[in-house]
Amino acid sequence: MTRVKMKNGKTCEIREIVEKDCMELIDHVNSLASEEIYVACEGLDIDADEERAFIRVMREGGKRMIYLALVDNLLAGHVDIQIGPLAMTSHVAEIGMGVKKRYRGMGLGKLLLSEAEKWAKEKEVQKVKLEVFSSNDRALGLYQKFGYRIEASLKNEYIIDGKFVDAIWMSKFI
């Protein structure tokens, strides 16, 4: 667990997910998905028991981790990092991240990304990759500051608010 003072003076706690976080994570992901602007997800259609089982299996498997960012004991953001499932991809991990709207711009993305990269290094991952919408300038800037480079752009991969948006694939060797 890590405690850090944010730009607004509040304290943020970054910690690994545990089974009791299941409903809060479901609500968080569904909230992000409902914005329909930054997350390539239409929400989680599962119940608490299914999510608890997923968290338990994930933690036991050692190839995936979810970190939560809590501000005033409320879930403000998360990062999900997963190592490739095949022997030939076991040196690569993929990151997915989301921060609730009211907490954006406070440094949570930096904290979550740092924690995910730290976990990846501990697992001897050599490359971390992610996908971001071309319309998400703030996230693109964050990833570039962290040393991620664009590997590919999938043109018109998504339609958001009636407009085509590219999928940008980025990666970093760690």
- Specify the pTM: 0.90
User: Model confidence at 41, in pLDDT bands (50, 70, 90)?
Assistant: low
Is 32 within a domain?
Answer: yes
pLDDT in tens, 85-135: 999 999 999 999 999 988 998 999 999 999 999 999 999 999 999 999 999
- Give yes or no for residue 161 having a pLDDT over 70: yes
CATH number at residue 8: 3.40.630.30
C-alpha R_g of the chain: 16
Residue 89: the pLDDT is 97
- Give yes or no for residue 5 having a pLDDT over 90: no
Query: What is the residue type of 43?
Result: G
Is 174 within a domain?
Answer: no
Residue 27 structural domain: 2-125
Is 23 within a domain?
Answer: yes
Q: Report d(CA 42, CA 34) in Å as an integer.
A: 7
How many structural domains compose the chain?
1
Is 44 within a domain?
Answer: yes
Is 172 within a domain?
Answer: no
Residue 42: the pLDDT is 64
Is 163 within a domain?
Answer: no
Is 134 within a domain?
Answer: no
- Give yes or no for residue 48 having a pLDDT over 80: no
More confident residue, 109 or 48: 109
- Give yes or no for residue 83 having a pLDDT over 70: yes
Is 140 within a domain?
Answer: no
pLDDT in tens, 89-102: 999 999 999 999 88
Q: Report d(CA 97, CA 104) in Å as an integer.
A: 12
